[in-house]
Amino acid sequence: LELFDARNWGLVVYDEVHLLPAPVFKFTADLQARRRLGLTATLVREDGREGDVFSLIGPKRFDAPWKEIEAQGYIAPADCCEVRVTLTDSERLAYATAEPEERYRFCATTATKRRVVEALVKKHENDQTLIIGQYIDQLDELGEVLDAPVIKGETSNAQREKLFDAFRNKEISVLVVSKVANFSIDLPEATVAIQVSGTFGSRQEEAQRLGRVLRPKADGHAAHFYSVVARDTVDQDFAAHRQRFLAEQGYAYRIIDADDVL
């Protein structure tokens, strides 16, 4: 911090600038600089403080809708699909009697989702596929069932890079990742993302996860983004909220039943 404060910087670039209002990052707005530039694909926050970005570093200078960038060939077209699963009678009873704070975890990790994920992975067996979720026990189970490596918070940086390189080189075709992959990973070969659970109703997280498969494809093919959701539960309510930012960008979610996948 002494080094940062000792100089009058010419330019400070804030990547993922939507994070700046958070207390842990906000202090960096005090750096003295002639110019500041903030970059983000998702200027949205669930605490409603995205407007604080402008008071911290200055007004918005440029904004490009995702679909416009897609038309220019900078990102791949994407097919977004919500796959709805139905809880079994026993699961529904357990869900109804669960404590409110446990209901999302319960419906987000229903066993029916595992069967849907297996079917989707088989459908896209020739594609590079990411499976993304929130709950580590759910991800560990999927990794075991699919015989796929799992990257989570406790995975060392060296091991992460080894697995990412294997994925980029197509030595492995399926990778299971936790929220550690929401930011700052570059996997241009990823064509399919399957989301099984998330951070409640986070629009920003939904957009970041779609972004993992939006690098332009060499063959020009579209990316596929699946969100597996438990019907008639808080999972479905959160999914609707998560999709709002992408809907504003021009993306539409097809809704299909799990039986159409299985």
pLDDT tens profile 228-259: 999 999 999 999 999 999 999 999 999 999 99
| Architecture of the 68-260 domain | 3-Layer(aba) Sandwich (3.40)
Q: How far apart are CA 143 and CA 107, in angstroms?
A: 19
Q: Are 124 and 175 in contact (CB under 8 A)?
A: no
Residue 184 above 80 pLDDT?
A: no
What average pLDDT score do residues 99-112 get? 93
Domain ranges of the chain: 2-63, 68-260
Q: Coil, strand or helix: which one is 208?
A: helix
Distance between terminal CA atoms of the chain? 55
CA distances from 76 to 192, 227, 252 (A): 12, 18, 15
pLDDT one-digit tens code per residue, 30-80: 888 899 999 999 999 999 999 999 999 999 999 999 999 999 999 999 999
251: number of CA atoms within 13 Å, CB side?
30
Residue type, 23: P
pTM, entire model:
0.92
pLDDT at residue 5 in the model? 82
